[in-house]
Structure 1
Amino acid sequence: MGSRSPLQQQRRVFIRLIGGSIILASAGLLAGRHFIVEDDELQRAKEEKLGANSDPRLALIEKASLAPSSHNLQPWLIDLRGPADIILLRVDPERLLPVADPHARETLISLGCFLELLSMAAQAGGFRCEIIEFPEGNAPQITPVAPVIAQIRITPATTTEPLLPEPLLAMLEQRRTNRLPYDTQRTIPDDILASLLDAGSVHGIQADGTVNPALLQKLNPLAENAWQTEMSNSETVLESLKLTRVGKKEIEYHRDGIAVSGFLPEMAATFGLFPRDRVPEPDSTFMRSMITTGKEQGQTAAGWIWLYSQGNSHAQQIAAGRAYVRLQLAAAQSHIAMQPMSFLLSEAPAMQPHQKDLYDNTELNSDQHRLQMLVRIGYADPVAASPRRRLSDFILE
């Protein structure tokens, strides 16, 4: 090969520098789009209108909007155009994931997380929260229509029927998805694992898990190998890159997706070295770094928790989200780091062999059970909260 030009050499240096700092969410590499944000004047007008609104539902919705979601897409639309005691939860058709989540299973899990936090916030605020799922009888599909996922009636609690406290809600601001490598020198006590499993076994969803070293030796490499399979799917990788927000300006503009900040990645994006419009070469430093990141995540898991249901209906998928957010709040309460590794549960044909191994190792029968969530747990340094959209971005009035 001939000698490289100075520009080529600069590109290689930048890629090496940023390679170790790029972390994409491995809750599954999910498809996505760049989303259009309304012009500033209209945005400010909507915010001022909401700010002047004394509607008590807004405070509840604001807490619920801190729910975790696949790729931080926040796929909820909140319709307040009906009666004053009703909230309609719709799925935003612009925030479905047609490639990586073609049946909207992970989208419904995300909406289940939103519903559970809304219910918990209502209870903490002295309101009763009556939820009717799929009142129109339809399920989310990839169409321009925003179907109603749930109708929620919010009414004040009576003095004769006092509400029980929701202690887990106090951990809402501390809830995080932590994608860092976990501390391999710290083990999770059995009693903490038991408390987490108890928190996640609700709404008809069963939580199980392990911190057994012998089983970790099977599950950790399985996650590593599945991640490498995921990274070989160029279409999925590309759509995930399109959801990556690099630098303060992009993060503030979109307020969703995968946030990456810091001098080196921002400089690399400026020079076109952090691609979002093409898949890097498989042997590039970028891709090798991504594979290494996923392997480190799998290798450092101090334990695993999985949520499963008896069947795979839309209602059970929503229930899985409701169970998962309670599990994550309980993890925050015990100072346990947690990260979904849902790429292992995707419908991609290439993932089927890994899923068979997963069902075998968790002793579940795939004909009777459906794994809805798989998360790694451990101890890690704290991470910042993911960006969140403004209320005016997703409330319909």
Structure 2
Amino acid sequence: MKGIRWRRRVILILSAIGVLLVITFASLMFISGFFREQKYLQPWKPSYSAAITDPRVQLAAHGLLAASSHNMQPWKIKLDSSNPLKFALYADSERLSPAVDPYARQFMVSQGTFLEYARVAGEELGYETAIELFPEGDYDEKRLVQSMRTKPVAVITLTRMNSVSHPLYPYLFLSDTNRGAYRSDALRAEQVDELQGLQENKDISIKIVQDTDNKKRLATYITEASIVEAGVETVMEESAKIFRSNEKEKNKYRYGFSVEGQGTDGLMRHMLQGLVTLFPSLNKGEAASKQFITSTETSVNNTPAFAMIRSADNSRLSQVRSGMLYSRLVLSAHRLGLAIQPLSQALEEYPEMSRLYSDIHRSYAADGETIQMLVRMGTPVKGAPLSLRRDVHELLISESSE
């Protein structure tokens, strides 16, 4: 009899644990927003841009899918009232990241990524896109924010032509960044030649390295930079402010970071979102710093190749052109079955990073050159989840706001 009672107690305890686990799981799913519509993913569907009748807005909807620093999507669009095939791109100064990017260099590289995606889309959809950079002259660096509000980064003029199937167009709809594991296979010589040959301007180039010594040296720079960044409170706080912990927040803000950015998807994504929503400290302070360093170390230890984009100077024009080249690199890498993850912390220009910034430039840049991007490359083990994207109509500058 005692044995029977003991077994019943065990069964009851296990049943209670099972019920508790089910309740906990269901609660996390509810808190995460498991059943909410993912409006922030709508722009990734080809049908989203196809439903737009204005070709300028349609191209902007493709540009919206491009990579941007901190996924801030810092773009504003002004439609020309007298020419239905002309529009201007402005840098959205309200989306600056002054702690991590005090001179707005990454911010301006992000302007170029948008333009290249729009150009690729234009050719696919039957438009030649003539892009004029800084048509009203350079920014006044002493009044940078005001200049960004009044001077366009570019004016884009469309000319109708026969639609041409662009080889890179299908890859606009893939995530630009893959933080997951890459296979150990080195890039083939023909892949390296094709990617390094993407440059259209001799003053801006791509350099791919995959020999053991250089990989080890770059891995050291990247890891040390992650430790520095994790220790700078203002930088980590800036990132924490744009972290979206659940589906409600992601639908509301539609830019910034989320758990997908760490390569987490499926039910595990909702588990993590529920936990972070309940316990925000899991993604702040020391916990966030440790996670950032660990994630970086994991990335560099699973990297067969690194690539750099270098420019002859660090002008705003070169920054934008570097962004355009970066988008070509991302899309071409996708076409070759490769993935990319930016690891550019050592290139950031706040005071605490100055030593590493100088060291990496001394090692990999000629006099006067600037390394605009540093990324890892390789064949991914699996695809990457899509990240947050705003509705393209939020980018439009209304007449009343001028």
Q: TM-score, normalised by structure 1?
A: 0.78
In the other structure, the counterpart of 1:120 is: 120
* Structure 1 unaligned spans of 5+: 1-49
Distance 1:286 1:125, change over 3 A: closer
Letter matched to residue 265 of structure 1: L
1:69 maps onto 2:76 in alignment: no
* Distance apart, 1:203 and its partner CA: 7.2
Distance across 2 between alignment mates of 1:164 and 1:148? 29
* Distance apart, 1:210 and its partner CA: 0.8
CA distances 1:340-387 after superposition (whole Å, capped 9, x unpaired): 11211111233232233323443x22x321111111112322111112
In the other structure, the counterpart of 2:237 is: 238
In the other structure, the counterpart of 2:171 is: 171
Among 269, 274, 280, the residue aligned to 2:285: 280
In the other structure, the counterpart of 1:210 is: 209
* Distance apart, 1:52 and its partner CA: 8.7
- 1:7-156 matches, within 5 Å, as 54-83=53-82, 84-139=84-139, 141-143=144-146, 145=149, 147-156=151-160
Letter matched to residue 394 of structure 1: L
Deviates more, 1:124-133 or 1:263-272: 263-272
* Distance apart, 1:204 and its partner CA: 4.0
Distance across 2 between alignment mates of 1:250 and 1:146? 31
Number of equivalenced pairs: 337
Q: What is the identity percentage for the equivalent residue pairs of Structure 1 and Structure 2?
A: 28
Among 305, 308, 313, the residue aligned to 2:315: 313
Are the aligned partners of 1:111 and 1:321 in contact in 2 as well (CA < 8 Å)?
yes
Distance 1:225 1:259, change over 3 A: same
1:267 maps onto 2:274 in alignment: yes
Letter matched to residue 153 of structure 1: T
The SS at the match of 2:244 is: strand
Letter matched to residue 66 of structure 1: L
Are the aligned partners of 2:70 and 2:257 in contact in 1 as well (CA < 8 Å)?
yes
Letter matched to residue 273 of structure 1: P
* Distance apart, 1:188 and its partner CA: 2.3
In the other structure, the counterpart of 2:355 is: 353
* Distance apart, 1:251 and its partner CA: 1.4
Are the aligned partners of 2:68 and 2:110 in contact in 1 as well (CA < 8 Å)?
yes
Moved over 6 A (4+): 50-53
Letter matched to residue 247 of structure 2: K
The SS at the match of 1:258 is: coil
Distance across 1 between alignment mates of 2:111 and 2:348? 18
Deviates more, 1:209-218 or 1:169-178: 169-178
CA distances 1:156-178 after superposition (whole Å, capped 9, x unpaired): 23xxxx78753122321134201
In the other structure, the counterpart of 2:298 is: 296
Letter matched to residue 313 of structure 1: S
Are the aligned partners of 1:204 and 1:319 in contact in 2 as well (CA < 8 Å)?
no
Are the aligned partners of 2:244 and 2:256 in contact in 1 as well (CA < 8 Å)?
yes
Are the aligned partners of 1:113 and 1:324 in contact in 2 as well (CA < 8 Å)?
yes
The SS at the match of 1:97 is: coil
* Structure 2 unaligned spans of 5+: 1-48, 261-268
In the other structure, the counterpart of 2:330 is: 328
Distance across 2 between alignment mates of 1:310 and 1:353? 21
Letter matched to residue 280 of structure 1: G
Letter matched to residue 60 of structure 1: L
Distance across 1 between alignment mates of 2:376 and 2:105? 20
In the other structure, the counterpart of 2:247 is: 248
Q: TM-score, normalised by structure 2?
A: 0.77
Are the aligned partners of 1:207 and 1:305 in contact in 2 as well (CA < 8 Å)?
yes
Letter matched to residue 207 of structure 1: I
Distance across 2 between alignment mates of 1:321 and 1:280? 31
Distance across 2 between alignment mates of 1:164 and 1:311? 35
CA distances 1:87-119 after superposition (whole Å, capped 9, x unpaired): 011111211122221221111111101111212
Letter matched to residue 338 of structure 2: I
CA distances 1:210-243 after superposition (whole Å, capped 9, x unpaired): 1112221221122111111111111000101111
Letter matched to residue 58 of structure 2: A
Distance across 1 between alignment mates of 2:202 and 2:73? 22
Distance 1:318 1:128, change over 3 A: same
Distance across 2 between alignment mates of 1:124 and 1:56? 12
In the other structure, the counterpart of 2:385 is: 384
